[in-house]
A and B are shown apart, each in its own frame.
Chain A
Amino acid sequence: MKLLAELSEGIRISLDSIWTNKLRSFLATLGVVIGISFVVLMGWAISGLDNALQDSINLIGEDMLYIDKWDWSGGKKWDELRNRKNITYQQFKQFSSDFNSAEVIVPGITNWGATVKTNNVNFTGVSIYGTSADFARLPTGNIELGRFFTSFEELRNLRVAVIGSKVARSLFPEQNPLGKYLKIEGQDFMVIGVVKKQGTMLMDFIDDRIYIPIGSFFNLYGGKLDRSLSIGIKVGSRERLDEVREEARGIMRSIRNLKPWQEDDFSINETKIFEEIVSTFRLYVWGIGIGMTVLAFIVGMIGIMNIMFVSVAERTKEIGIRKSVGANNRSILLQFLMEAATLCLVGAFTSIVICSILVFLVATFLPKFIPETGFLQPFLPFEFVLYASLVAILVGLISGLMPAYRASRVDPIESLRYE
């Protein structure tokens, strides 16, 4: 009860004193405002990144394995990887007939940087992706408009194309692309479907893809293109991932005629790798951010401490009066600690307001110029508002400790004589 009365009195005094010295308080909290802003903005960027990552993982599916010549993790030497033999269509055929423990197995072969044409538009930077009809059963094969090609069309090597949303927008602006034709390597392909827009930060290349039956791909490029296939395996559940990976590895080794002492000449990739990439990136953001934040907080704390010392000196008489009517050392200590904490909390509040406005503007307008920043959210994550406030209180308490201690030790006799 007593503590409660003192606390509410403390808050009242603090706000009163901040309000009386508006400019001084503002300048004193500037460092804290900057520090808090760093923390909040970092949190905002990272949480946007995490959401984008989660979207990408959801998009690919957490239960996907990709047998590939290339290693996504980047842990292996590039020239070593290059010397691996390509995974061929025959090997894929063999694999899919030997391997039964997966939901879906699809081949994928890509020609990057291709150019496609319609009568009046050229569009470069497209990936032509040869695959099977089963691709439609993967999360990435979600169709927005029309349909995916069927196994009949696949077996017949028909020239049909399912296009990414960006391709659709660029080639057929404001038209229904279904039934239209586009030219790849001089050959006409009929558009039969449009894939749902993916557009997440890590996976937006999917919007630039054109899917065609794998046989049509080989007809198109034949021997000209020395490309390795990738085999996509949808396991069905994340729990079975390890088991299926080992089985796939065994079968693949036997298909590739590897001797027991030889290393794998292929990689089995999974979405976990995205998490690793992002966590590295996150580390960079934190690394830079923490350095600046710590610096800002140190400056901020010095500011607060300084102003609190001034405040204690100015109010020596007040401390004397309070002590003479019965305030003990702890009450005075508490009062000045609370003042420092309140000062910082007001700083945090200011910073949150400023950052909210900033974040809203940036997330609304920046992606219009730099589409890659589309993962940014127009609001601050709530937990960071909470952390910021707690950090502010902590900073206030730490920087207020010395001044408050000095205030609590003020001799009432001396201070009452003080004019």
Chain B
Amino acid sequence: MNVNNLNRNPLIELKNISKVYLVGEEQVFALRDINLTIYPNEYVAIMGPSGSGKSTLMNIIGCLDTPTTGEYILKGINIRELDDNDLASIRNKEIGFVFQMFNLLPRANALKNVELPLIYAGINKSERIERAKKALISVGLEDRLTHKPNELSGGQRQKVAIARALVTNPSLILADEPTGNLDSKSGEDIMRLFHQIWKEGNTIILVTHEREIAMNAQRIIRLRDGRIESDELNPQKVVFESVEE
């Protein structure tokens, strides 16, 4: 799509991905024949109404789920060939999740929450603390390190979650309706943070059903009934190409 990407290796390649669920005797296609390539440092929004398959797609891209058919290649690794433990390791190294419900551990403070992925990466304690602090500072929470989630506002919780996603320096930040549980002001705040993270060179995939939120991205993919309906560059972000809305 983007001319800038032509000479680079793709970060993600989905080839003819389908996901089929069995509901009783009936086969339900959550995804049909998805082909998608995403390059490093892209900022992609995946849009679609509920039931369009965007959650399934996100789970597959996030290596939480595996496709029924088709190939998924992440940084040259064929995900379909991996077992549960390898998938866990890929999630740990390559992917940072940001969820609508924040999904922080309620009894652990902000620092502990951000440390969590580093524990499973086997990083020693002093380095863990140092990196977790740095991540929290980068999202502007330097004065909230020892606060527990219930002592933080919604926007602050989501920032902790973002810090947790960033702390392993993943190849991909995967955000699922990150503003869905926030008031509009906190939502704008979080979107500004994503923009900044993208500018720093990260790749972001944003799953949302809100057009306004999706307009923050550089490229917008629309799903309907498990298929890609459209895959376009966002004219507000990309000035060199004119794309119809």
On A, residues with C-beta under 8 Å from B are 1-3, 5-6, 8-9, 16, 20, 317-318, 320-331, 412-413, 416, 419
7 contacts between A and B (CB under 8 A): A5-B124, A5-B125, A9-B119, A320-B103, A326-B89, A328-B89, A412-B64
Partner of B120, one of A326, A413, A416: A326
On B, residues with C-beta under 8 Å from A are 59, 62, 64-65, 84-85, 88-89, 91-93, 97, 99, 101, 103-105, 107, 116-117, 119-125, 128, 164, 168
Beyond A2-B121, A5-B123, A326-B92, 17 additional contacts (C-beta under 8 Å) are A2-B122, A6-B120, A6-B122, A317-B103, A318-B105, A321-B104, A324-B62, A325-B164, A326-B89, A326-B121, A326-B168, A327-B92, A328-B84, A328-B85, A328-B88, A329-B88, A330-B85
- Consensus secondary structure, chain A interface: helix
- Chain A residues positioned under 8 Å from B84 (CB to CB): 328-329
B93 nearest in chain A by CB position? A326
Interface centre among A6, A318, A325, A413 (most CB of B within 10 A): A325
Min C-beta distance of A321 to chain B, whole Å: 5
How far does the alpha carbon of A16 sit from the alpha carbon of B121 in the complex, in Å? 22
Contact A416 B89 (CB under 8 A): no
How far does the alpha carbon of A328 sit from the alpha carbon of B128 in the complex, in Å? 19
Contact B85 A16 (CB under 8 A): no
- Chain B residues positioned under 8 Å from A322 (CB to CB): 116, 120
Given known A-B contacts A325-B97, A326-B117, A413 and B64 have beta carbons under 8 A apart: yes
- Chain B residues positioned under 8 Å from A9 (CB to CB): 119
A325 nearest in chain B by CB position? B117
Partner of A324, one of B89, B97, B125: B97
How far does the alpha carbon of A128 sit from the alpha carbon of B97 in the complex, in Å? 91
- Chain A residues positioned under 8 Å from B93 (CB to CB): 326
- Chain A residues positioned under 8 Å from B119 (CB to CB): 5-6, 9
Interface centre among B88, B101, B168 (most CB of A within 10 A): B88
A328 nearest in chain B by CB position? B88
Given known A-B contacts A5-B119, A416-B99, A324 and B124 have beta carbons under 8 A apart: no
Partner of B88, one of A3, A321, A326: A326
- Chain B residues positioned under 8 Å from A320 (CB to CB): 103
